[in-house]
Amino acid sequence: SLLRFFVLQKYAYPADELMPLSCRGRVRGQEPNRGDIDDSLGMFSLTLIDTLDTLVVLNKLDEFEDAVRKAVRDVRLDNDVVVSVFETNIRVLGGLLGAHVMADLFYQRGDRMQWYRDELLHMAKELGHRLLPAFNTTSGLPYPKVNLRYGILNPLSRTGTESDTCTACAGTMILEFAALSRLSGESVFEEHARKALDVLWERRQRGSDLVGTVINIHNGEWVRRDSGVGAGIDSYYEYLMKAYILLGDNVFLERFNIHYSAIMKYISQPPLLLNVHMHNPTVSVRSWMDSLLAFFPGLQVLRGDLKPAIETHEMLYQVTKQHKFLPEAFTTEFRVHWGQHLLRPEFAESTYYLYKATGDPYYLRVGQSIVEKLNAYARVPCGFAAVQDVRTGTHEDRMDSFFLAEMFKYLYLLFSEKSELPIDIDDYIFTTEAHLLPVSLSTTQPPCQHNNSDTVPITQQEDLFTHSCPSTETLFPNNPSFAKTIRDSYKYLTGVGRAFHPLPVRCGHKGVYRVKLVAEVSQTPEDEEVVPHVVQLISPPFLGRTVLTAGPAKFGMDLSKQEYGVKGSIVKASPYTACGPIENTVELKGHIALALRGDCMFAAKARWLQEAGAIGVIFIDHREGSSSKETPLFQMVGDGDSTEDITLPLVFLFSREGAVLTAALEEHHNVDVLLLPKERQLGHKTEKPISMNIKLRLAHEGELEEGADRGPTLEFVLEKEEVLLKEEEEEEPSGERQSQQQFCTKATEDNRSEPCSADSSETPTSSSGPEPNP
């Protein structure tokens, strides 16, 4: 990494970034405009400032002192350029503060930097004042951009027309701004950062305790209501936890714990982390994840919640093993959604935290794989180049400053002993850009006269607010590699993936508005989602009495269109996983095959078995103990290619149901089964259910008086504390949707409820949807 730093100085300085393929610096305005990406470039030698404290961690103290001299001498902050408030804060302000803390430490020690007179702190204070105009909004949330010279709303500023910002953009200011206030003695920075956090907290959805992704900076209304832990929200949660560690303010811990409880309740589906609607958290809004969520296992380690951290990290590692790098976004099937890899450091960050927490050498091997892949697939003569598409390995002429600021810092710390470091790393907290701020700031009295953050009402269980977490050495004294037992549960993840399942619907929230609604009931055709199927054993001695619940497939023969299902004798495929040419084709031909889940896709297995002459396939889960009574049914889906060539009927049994079937085969050798939808099983007499389409509207005065002559109606009393005017329209990749009419009310002076404007919107339907992989 030191070599890369000298390459940067040789080819790129004083430009903001190095272009590793062109071997020259990227100067804003002299290269093709890349849109918002260029808003991190402010003509302030971005990569130099972002990398200063990395040189200290690498124990390159002479180089650090030279680089500080260069920054003090050359960097100017009054440039007429529009920059991202968020990126400038975490990269430049954070870089100046981290470097100042290191320079001041060496000055206090007396062994170097004796010429230093807080020049970096003065630069940080100047930059802070240049960012402050962004907070000039009615809500207190900052504008997303600011002109370093002209601020906001100046005729020359070329910014100030924006109306919204991301949650992370507004909520990732407190570490840098509070540190600046406490180091400089000027309270204004910390006050503004706290106010922004207060607004986000107040605007959380009170029922789910989740926040959205994009918010209006003027009125505080949510613009995008999808909620997750990845792009757009990630560092908001991170900074609540780290603000508590850095500043010692319990308010931040209490808020974080409430949010964290909601995340684990709604978003976490181990090992996946899937976005949901903040107002309707039982609805998953997409079936893919972005790479920025890779920081979350590290944050869970900070909180002391190791098990889900290990699970999610292992899932991410399996994705990197499959694609060499973590794609910018990937599906729940672990396929590439967006192929870019920008040399992001979040996965390395979580790897470092997990190794530090567990001491498990497994994470050293993970780190080694990161280094090897960087050298093999990203290293170029003038640096390290981002990967344009992990599927092709093509490079992009781009090396963001965070690569040197974060990636090398975490990798170096992963493999270093504490004695090799010039500082005690445990005395510092990492910002989201991995800049070092001393935890001793918690003992520094904030310069403001009062705490702007209100105390959180303690409405949750007391254990949410515990201030310490149990030691893993205490919990597992005889098993130092306990993490392995957790990882082993996910050893089948490579190329397998899983789908997301909706969470159970929870109760509404009692409030103060009482609304009388009328439900008008009409019959509509049943809208089937995951239709349960069965494997019914019909040969003696079972005679139809043994019925095993099975999941269907979204490809192959549609059993719902077969009047009498498909009947046949069962035969175990060889090999049992059916991931290659079938060896027992003679026995299998004309029979229904049994095949074990795992090692390859469902569609691949089906093709091999169809080629061998099978007339149907029953897949059996490889996970021990799984059961349809405990796990939601899912629909098997194809492998992304056309599956029209597959004409077999396909069903899926969990392992307990599968064990009944295989035991019957071993005992009786000749077992006939019937594959069909559950409602058509032999001996099962049911009428087709009637689905109700319920439309809610406000009742007119006196409409439901006794004796009123109406058709079939249902009367509801809705009690709710707050009113949602309009849900954001989101679309799941499947495109399946259902219409839903929303209502809101307002109280009049005579305490009657009147309807207020509310638009209809559409919300994705959700069911135990397709699980894509074997």
Q: Are strands 713-720 and 546-550 parallel, antiparallel or unpaired?
A: unpaired
Torsion angle (degrees, nearest 10) of CA 68, 74, 77, 82: -110
| Active-site annotation holds for 328 | yes
Q: Write the DSSP string, 513-571.
A: EEEEEEEEEEEE----SS--EEEEE-STTTTT-EEEEEB-BSSS--GGG-TT-EEEEEE
- Sequence-ordered list of residues with C-beta below 8 angstroms from that of 117, at least 6 positions apart, any chain: none
Question: Taking Cα atoms as reference points, which of 56, 84, 71 lies closest to residue 124?
Answer: 71
Is 631 annotated to bind a ligand? Reply is: no
Query: Among the options 53, 209, 234, 433, which is catalytic?
Result: 234
Long-range contacts, stretch 583-592, CB < 8 angstroms, 24+ apart: 584/612, 585/612, 585/613, 588/612, 588/613, 588/614, 589/613, 589/614, 590/615, 591/615, 592/566, 592/568, 592/616, 592/617, 592/618, 592/673, 592/675
8 Å CB contact between 400 and 342: yes
**Alpha helix locations (H) across 324-390?**
346-358, 362-377
Q: Are 600 and 577 in contact (CB under 8 A)?
A: yes
- Residue written as tokens 């254990």? 463
Angle at the Cα of 567 (from 562 to 570), degrees rounded to 5? Answer: 140
Q: Are 573 and 581 in contact (CB under 8 A)?
A: no
Cβ count near 750 (within 10 Å):
5
User: In whole angstroms, what is the distance from residue 570 CA to residue 620 CA?
Assistant: 13
List the beta bridge partners of residue 429.
437
Contacts 24+ apart (CB under 8 A), 36-40: 36/84, 39/82, 39/83, 39/84, 39/87, 39/145, 40/16, 40/83, 40/84, 40/87, 40/88, 40/91, 40/400, 40/401
Q: Which of 427, 452, 439 is nearest to 182 (CA)?
A: 439
Contact 224, 156 (CB under 8 A): no
Q: State both tokens at 216.
A: 């209006």
**Which amino acid, 608?**
W
- Catalytic annotation present for 346: yes
Catalytic site residue 715?
no
Q: Are 170 and 200 in contact (CB under 8 A)?
A: yes
User: 65, 346, 349, 732: which one is catalytic?
Assistant: 346
Q: Any idea which residues carry the catalytic annotation? A: 87, 234, 328, 346
Binding site residue list: 432
Binding residues for Ca(2+): 432
